[in-house]
Chains A and B, each alone.
Chain A
Amino acid sequence: MVEFSFRTFPEVFVGLKGRNGGVRECSALVDPCSEYCIMPKVDAYALGYPEAANDDPVTPADNTLTYTSFDGYGKAALIGIAEVSFGGFSFPNIDFLALDLPQVTMFDVVIGRSLLKFTKLEIDYLTRTLRIVEAKGGAAD
């Protein structure tokens, strides 16, 4: 079991390794209500996913996915991040949407169900603690 303490929102630092070997580590909101993990398009591009930068509505990329949010319907590129790691766990080939959340939210990465489905997670707001009890990723250190 791994424990993370958090301030207001359940968040952890996650390492994102792209198909070009580049690494971005970001503070990420853990959100079980999000179907997919989310990352900024600019980071997806930097990690070797140029298709994430295709905003052309006439000829969208093959991996474009339509999603529903509180803001209505939207479209974003679905990419497979080569490796996601946090807390000593690592998860290969995790689906992420390349989508720019408003920066006033202060989060640009969200860990959603496309990764959380490989974990048993506890969010304890009383003690402001996030626990990963089990994970089907690499073993914790």
Chain B
Amino acid sequence: MDLDFFSAILSATIRTGTPLLLVALGEMLVEKSGVLNLGQEGMLLIGAVAGFIAASQSDSLVLGFMAAIAGGIGMAFIFAIVTLFLNANQIATGLALTIFGVGLSAFLGADYEGKTIAGLTKTPIPLLSDIPFIGALFFDHDVIVYVSWTLFIGMWLLFKKSTLGLNIRAVGENPDAANAIGINVIPLRFALVLVGGALAGLAGGYLSLVYTPLWTEDMSAGRGWIALAIVVFASWKATRVLLGAYLFGFASILHLAAQGMGVNLSANLLAMLPYVATIVVLVILSRNKLKLQLSEPLALAKPWRKE
């Protein structure tokens, strides 16, 4: 295995891991505040279809990404109203969001099924991208990859250095106590759910405008669910979300790598790999029940209202 092949694999891992990273960062933020949104898959698909339609109609990728983000926020808004104001079960509402998103995206995208678009191209950073190996790895990507890294750093700083991060954690651990010290629990949760929706929508836009770039029904192929598993894998820590997203990105392109190395296995069997990997990782992470309970936000998925 030569260095170029290795570098190409790592580069592809980052591309594949980026939508996972975006969704997982968003969901981590939401879960930190004690809200479990299982509707990631639905928000991803709406983001993907909204982005694709807007970009095809306007010939502008910027408008495409804005539409993708708006689509994700719109979906998250429904979730926020039903769970935070009407106190519905978060698990069931998240499932409803996914079922609705799968149906609505297929419906909206029916006329665009299988169509392609000139996707977003790479923006190499001058000079830095010329460094051998490292340049290709870190400084020769599309803009959204850099955005995802910025968001990661922002998320890390938020929970390590800021009062807002502390407030979010307080709301996720003990909303009663947080409320007592004057934090507005429901508005904060509402805002975070919308931010999570924006990130999932952006990730959807990445799929349909950068990664493939085309629209096809159900194109997210379970990435929203894998991102939820990554948050558990990461024990709700930003650095491990980054690691997890790229690990799963790698598992998803493993079949390409395997073919490159001359391994001959059915493509259908290799397509199972990311899902099997998710289960294996969950098993390894969840075996220690106490550790899992300690890292999970205490109020996760528990409806709360101001008394």
A and B assemble together: no
